[in-house]
Structure 1
Amino acid sequence: MRRVFAVGIASAVVLAGAGIGVALERTHAQQAQGVTSAAASTSGVVQITFWNGHPSGALKKEMHALVDEFNATHPNIHVTVIDKYAQIQPVTAAMTAGDAPNVIMPHLDAAQQFAADGYLVNLTPYIDGPHGFTKAQLASFFYPSVWNGRAIDPGKQYILPFEENGHMVIFYNASLFQKAGIASPPKTWQQLGDDARRITALGKNIHGIAWTPSMEQFLTMVADNGGKIWASNSETRFALNNPQAVSTLSFLRDLVAKGDMILTQNYDYQLDFGTGNIGLLIESSAGWTYDVQSVGGKFPVKASPAPAGTSGRAYNYVDGDSLAILNTGTKAQQDAAWTFIRWLASPEQNAKWDEVANYLPIGPAAAQDLKPFYASHPDQAQAFTSPSTWLTDPAANATQYYAALTAMQTELLKALNGQETPQQAVANMNQVGNEYLSGQRRS
C-alpha cells in the first residue's frame, strides 16, 4: 500500500527520494549551539522546562541521562525535566493557567489538537533557518515516512520526530517451540496459525498466542494479505470492507475459537507470557524490555520479524511521540527549546534512545549508528524492517483517526468473541470508521 503525505516545508521534498546511501552529516551540534548564543550572552543561562513523556522505569532514567548530557554540553541553556505525559487535558490546563512547559512530547492526535488551538510554535522558520537542517541532513536524519507522517498542517511543521514504535514483531518462548518440534519462527501468518496449534496441543494450560487486540495490528495484517485500508491516497476514507479483511478476521477468530489464541486486556499478555504457558506474542518493538522482564530468565525469549501475508509482503505499523515547542515563554526560551529538540532528535541521541527503549531508528543515520548494537543484540534488531514497508497514521487527520480506531476496535472484539460474523464486523468497522473520519460522529 502506497503512503502519501503532505510535506511540511519546501525543503522536505527531497525526502521523497532519500535513501540509506545519503551522506551522514554530523554538524548539527555546532549549528544548534549557535541558536542561543546571542540570547545567552545578554540574559545569562536560558532556563526551559521539558515534560518527559516517559515518567517511569528505564526510559525515565535514560531520558534524564540525555537531558543531563545536553545541559553539560550546552552551558548557555538549562533544561529542567518534569516527568509528565503531554495529554490534551493537562497541557490545555497548563496553557490556560500560564504555567505550561516549553517543550513537550505529544502523540500525533494530541499534537494536531494543540496546533489547532494555537498552542504550538511553527517550527518551519527554525527548520529552514541557519541553525535548522540542510537538505542532506533532512534526508539522513529522517526517513520519508517518518518526516512526512508528522505533517499535521500542510505548509507548516509543528513537531519533530523523536521515536517510532514498530507494532509488528514476534517474540516467542524458545523452549515451547522446541517442545512442539518447531524448528524456526513462522514466516507467514498461515505458519503462525499452524505453530500456535502445535504449541496449544502441548497441554491444557498452554496456548499458542496471547494477544491484546489492536486495530493497528489488524490493519497491518489486512495489508499483508493484499487488502485495501484506504479508499485513496488522501487517507480520509476507509475502504476496509473487502474480502481480504474478512479472511484476515476469520483467521483470527478461528484461532480464538479453537483455543490456540487467548485474548487479553492492556498489557496482561506480558504477564501471561511470563508464566511460560504462552508460545508467542504479536508485539511491538518497545515491548521487548517488559516481556523479558516478565519472563525473568525462566526460559529463553527470541524474536522474529512479523510474518508475511498472502501478498508476500510483511508490513510494519509504526508510530510514536514527537517533540514540540509550546507557544509560551520568551523568544530566547523558544530559541533554546529549538536547540534542545534539534539535539534530541539527532541521530546520535536517537540511537542511544533506541538501544534502551527498543524503538526503531527514525532515519538512515541513526540506523547506521545502531548497526553495532543490532549485531550484538540480534533479537532487538528483528523489529527493524525496511522503512519501505512502514505504515503510519494519517497525519492530517490524526484526531478523527484515533477516535475511529477506538470505535472500530469494538467491532473487532465482537467478531473475535463470536458475537458478530467477520463479514458483519468488517462492514461495521468500515461504516463507523468513516463516520468518525467525516466528522459525522465525534469522540
Structure 2
Amino acid sequence: MSSKSPLRRTAATALAAACALGALSACSSSGSSSDAGSGGTTTISFMQIMISGTQKSTLVALTDAFQKANPNIKVNLEYQPDYGTLHAKETAGVAAHNPPTIGQVYESWAAEYAKSQVILPVSQYAGSDSPAGLTDFYQGVQKDLRLPDGKLWMWPFNKSVQVIFYNQDMLQAKGLTAPTTWDQFATDAKAVSGNGVTAISVDPGTTASPAGGTTLFEALCAADGTPNFAADGTPQLNSPAAIQAMGYLADLKKSGALAVGSNYPGETALGAQKGAFDLSSAAGYYFENKAVGGKFTMGTEVLPTGSSGQPTNILSGTNIAMFASASKAQQAAAWKYMQFLASADSQAQWSSTTGYMPVTAKALDQMGDFLAKNPYMKTAADALNYAVAQPAFPWVAKAEGEEVVALQKVLEQGADPASALNAAQQAAVADQKAGQ
C-alpha cells in the first residue's frame, strides 16, 4: 500500500471566494446536519473516505455504539472514494455554504480552511485549547493537531507512520539482519539483488499525488538532518542532505538494487519474492501480508537512522476538523463524537481491525491479543512520539509535486541529482510565493 494517499490540489480561489468572514453567518450546515429543536435529535455529518473493508465496517460499528450511548445524536457518515475527492467535496461544500459538520483533513487542508475562517479552533467548541484527553496522545500526534499559529485546530483520527517491510528469510539466507541504518540498508539491498531480485521497488507518484518513492526521499532527507521543508514551510529541496538522498537513490538504481514502478510496486515485488524490502505506511500491513500470503516470514521495522543518528519518521494519515457553519448544538454533538473516536477503547478497536496506529498508549495497552500476533505495532506506535508530518502550509502539497519531477528525472532519465533538485527548489519556492 502506498505511503501517500491520492491527495490532489483544489483551487484555493473557490474556497477563498466563498469563505470570507462575512459569508459565514449566512452559511448553513450540510443538508445531512440539522437541529431538531429543544429535546429532539441533533444530526451531524462526518465526511470521510472509509468506504470499504474493515475501515468501513469498524467506523460503522463505532458510530452505532456512539449513537446507542447517545440516542439524541444522529451521525450521518458521508463517504468519498479517495482523499482527492474528499478535498474537492469539502471545498465545494464550503463554497455552496453547505459543508459537512466535520471532515477528515490533511494538515495543509486545515491551513487553507483556517486561513479562510471556515473551520473552528478546538477551543471554540471544547471550551479550552488543551481539552481533556489531549495529553494522552503520543507527542508527535499532539504536535500535529496544531497549525503554525499555535492554535489547536484538529483532533486525531487515522494516523500512521512509515515502516520497512522485508523478507526475513531472504536476508537470513545472506547472513543479514534488518538494517538499523540507511548505510546498512544500501549494503544489504545490493547484497540481495541479482538473479531476478531487485531489493526495493518504488513509485514516485505524480505531481498531484506523490507516492512511496517520494516518501522514501523525504525520509532520507530527514534522517540526514535536513527535512525537505523547514518548519515554516520553506522548501529545502536542494540542501546537501537532499542532494545526498537523491544520490543515494540514484546509486541504488545504478547498482540494480532499486527499480521504479507504479501501483504499489514494492508491495507486489515483495510478495512475489522478487523484492526484499518495501517502505510503506504501517497501516498497509494487511495489504503487505496479503501479498506475501505466508510464502515467507515477513519482518517489519521502523525506519533506519541516518547521519543525524536520531530516529526520524514521517507522520501520515488525517485528523478531523469542524466546519464553522455548525450550530452550537451540532458543535457539542460533534465534539462528543470526536472525543469518542479518539478514546482509548475506540482507538484500540480501530487499530486492531484497520492497522492504523492507536493514537494513545492507553489504547495500545488494550490491544494485548493483537500485539501478540502483530508485534510490529508496538514499535510503530512508539514512533508516534517523534514522527513529524509535512508542515501545515497550503503550498506544501504542490511543492511536494516538484520532488516527484526531480525523482522521475533522476531515476528514470538519469539526470544529475543536484541539477534536478535545483530545478525542483526553484519551482517549489515559486509555489510557496504563490500560496502565501
TM range (shorter): 0.7 to 0.9
Q: Using the alignment, how far apart are the partners of 2:99 and 2:142 within structure 1?
A: 26
The residue type equivalent to 1:112 in the other structure is A
Aligned match of 1:174:
168
User: Contact between 1:253 and 1:417, CA under 8 Å: does it hold in 2?
Assistant: no
How many residues align structurally? Answer: 391
* Aligned with 1:164 (options 149, 159, 167): 159
Deviations 1:40-68 (A, max 9, x none): 89332222222232212221111111111
Query: What displacement does 1:99 show?
Result: 4.8
Matched, 1:276 2:257: no
Aligned match of 1:90:
89
Query: What displacement does 1:431 show?
Result: 2.5
Distance 1:389-1:341 versus aligned 2 partners, 3 A rule:
closer
Distance 1:282-1:359 versus aligned 2 partners, 3 A rule:
same
The residue type equivalent to 1:78 in the other structure is K
Matched, 1:200 2:193: yes
Q: Please list, as runs of the form range in 1=range in 2, the aligned pairs for 1:24-423 lying within 5 A after superposition.
A: 42-84=38-80, 87-97=86-96, 99-128=98-127, 133-134=131-132, 137-140=133-136, 142-152=137-147, 154=149, 156-167=151-162, 169-179=163-173, 181-201=174-194, 203=195, 205-213=196-204, 214-227=213-226, 229-230=228-229, 234-370=231-367, 373-395=370-392, 397=393, 399-423=394-418
- Where 1:304 maps in the other structure, the secondary structure is strand
Query: What displacement does 1:230 show?
Result: 4.9
The residue type equivalent to 2:105 in the other structure is P
Structure 2 spans left out of the alignment, 5+ residues: 1-34, 205-212
Aligned match of 1:435:
430
Larger mean Cα displacement after TM superposition, 375-384 or 346-355: 375-384
TM-score by length of 2: 0.81
User: Contact between 2:202 and 2:259, CA under 8 Å: does it hold in 1?
Assistant: yes
- Where 1:49 maps in the other structure, the secondary structure is strand
User: Contact between 2:235 and 2:399, CA under 8 Å: does it hold in 1?
Assistant: no
Larger mean Cα displacement after TM superposition, 248-257 or 108-117: 108-117
Query: What displacement does 1:365 show?
Result: 3.2
Q: Using the alignment, how far apart are the partners of 1:322 and 1:107 within structure 2?
A: 7
- Where 2:158 maps in the other structure, the secondary structure is coil
User: Contact between 2:135 and 2:142, CA under 8 Å: does it hold in 1?
Assistant: no
Distance 1:380-1:145 versus aligned 2 partners, 3 A rule:
closer
Query: What displacement does 1:153 show?
Result: 6.2
Query: What displacement does 1:363 show?
Result: 3.5
User: Contact between 1:303 and 1:380, CA under 8 Å: does it hold in 2?
Assistant: no
User: Contact between 2:103 and 2:320, CA under 8 Å: does it hold in 1?
Assistant: yes
Distance 1:249-1:196 versus aligned 2 partners, 3 A rule:
same
Query: What displacement does 1:252 show?
Result: 1.0
Deviations 1:347-401 (A, max 9, x none): 3222322222322332443344446643442133342344453222212x1x211
Distance 1:438-1:366 versus aligned 2 partners, 3 A rule:
farther
User: Contact between 2:166 and 2:276, CA under 8 Å: does it hold in 1?
Assistant: yes
User: Contact between 1:120 and 1:325, CA under 8 Å: does it hold in 2?
Assistant: yes
Larger mean Cα displacement after TM superposition, 326-335 or 158-167: 326-335
Distance 1:438-1:369 versus aligned 2 partners, 3 A rule:
farther
Distance 1:121-1:212 versus aligned 2 partners, 3 A rule:
same
The residue type equivalent to 2:52 in the other structure is S
Deviations 1:23-50 (A, max 9, x none): xxxxxxxxxxxxxxxx989332222222
User: Contact between 1:47 and 1:77, CA under 8 Å: does it hold in 2?
Assistant: yes
User: Contact between 1:163 and 1:322, CA under 8 Å: does it hold in 2?
Assistant: yes
User: Contact between 2:357 and 2:377, CA under 8 Å: does it hold in 1?
Assistant: no
- Where 1:162 maps in the other structure, the secondary structure is strand
Q: Using the alignment, how far apart are the partners of 1:364 and 1:303 within structure 2?
A: 20
- Percent of aligned positions with the same letter in both sequences? 26
- Where 2:314 maps in the other structure, the secondary structure is strand
